[in-house]
Amino acid sequence: MYELPRLSYDYNALGKYISKDIMLLHHDKHHQAYVDKLNAALDTHPDLKKESLDGLLRSVNTLPDDVRIAVRNNGGGHYNHSLFWEWMSPDGGGEPSGKLADQLVEKYGDFQSFVDEFTAKALAVFGSGWVWLQPDLSIITTPNQDTPLMLGQPEPLLGLDVWEHAYYLDYKNKRDDYVQAWWNVVNWNFVQSRLDSQTSVK
């Protein structure tokens, strides 16, 4: 059975950028619902419980018809949100350093140009979806709760939830204000650790 992961910080820790009200709604209600619906779907296919979540998502297109959409939406939702909480930190923001910073500058010219391109893609997502920084430092988007794994891509280094449920309470319809605020809480240490681990696997 999948479980809702605990936050590694308080619900109010992201302060003025992401409010306690949003964190409570987003984590305790939305993420919990993905977990509950994923578990309910797998109860109808106990054979799939042996698979890792990664494995289920990578092979989602070959799952049986009666469980595929539920795993896609709720398994994707659980995977994406489990990472999303870790991609934010009360100690986040600023700029990355070390190898990650060097590689971003090499690809985008400077850090702000990377931020601008990621932000532009976040604002261009029509409806609900996510924006991702991939290990090759490309920026991609997915609709709904789809993950890069479903596209045959490696695990993302960084992702941003641009569903309205992620910001509506604080920012109403102003996604651009939410994205600008979010950069102040990005946990670059976690992004760097993901780059390091992916590099070491190669």
Other residues' Cβ atoms within 10 Å of the Cβ of residue 87: 22
What is the nearest approach in angstroms of Mn ion to the Cβ of residue 95? 25
What is the nearest approach in angstroms of Mn ion to the Cβ of residue 2? 16
Contact of 140 with 130, CB cutoff 8 Å: no
What is the nearest approach in angstroms of Mn ion to the Cβ of residue 163? 5
User: Of 146 and 161, which CB lies nearer to Mn ion in the complex structure?
Assistant: 161
Distance CA 198, CA 202 (A): 7
What is the nearest approach in angstroms of Mn ion to the Cβ of residue 97? 28
Distance CA 68, CA 61 (A): 7
Distance CA 181, CA 22 (A): 13
Distance CA 116, CA 169 (A): 24
Distance CA 93, CA 142 (A): 24
Binding site for Mn ion (CB under 5 A): 161, 163, 166
What is the nearest approach in angstroms of Mn ion to the Cβ of residue 132? 14
What is the nearest approach in angstroms of Mn ion to the Cβ of residue 83? 11
User: Of 67 and 166, which CB lies nearer to Mn ion in the complex structure?
Assistant: 166
- Closest CB to Mn ion: residue number: 161
User: Of 17 and 100, which CB lies nearer to Mn ion in the complex structure?
Assistant: 17
Distance CA 76, CA 189 (A): 24
Distance CA 182, CA 14 (A): 9
User: Of 163 and 188, which CB lies nearer to Mn ion in the complex structure?
Assistant: 163
Other residues' Cβ atoms within 10 Å of the Cβ of residue 35: 20
User: Of 72 and 104, which CB lies nearer to Mn ion in the complex structure?
Assistant: 72
User: Of 22 and 191, which CB lies nearer to Mn ion in the complex structure?
Assistant: 22
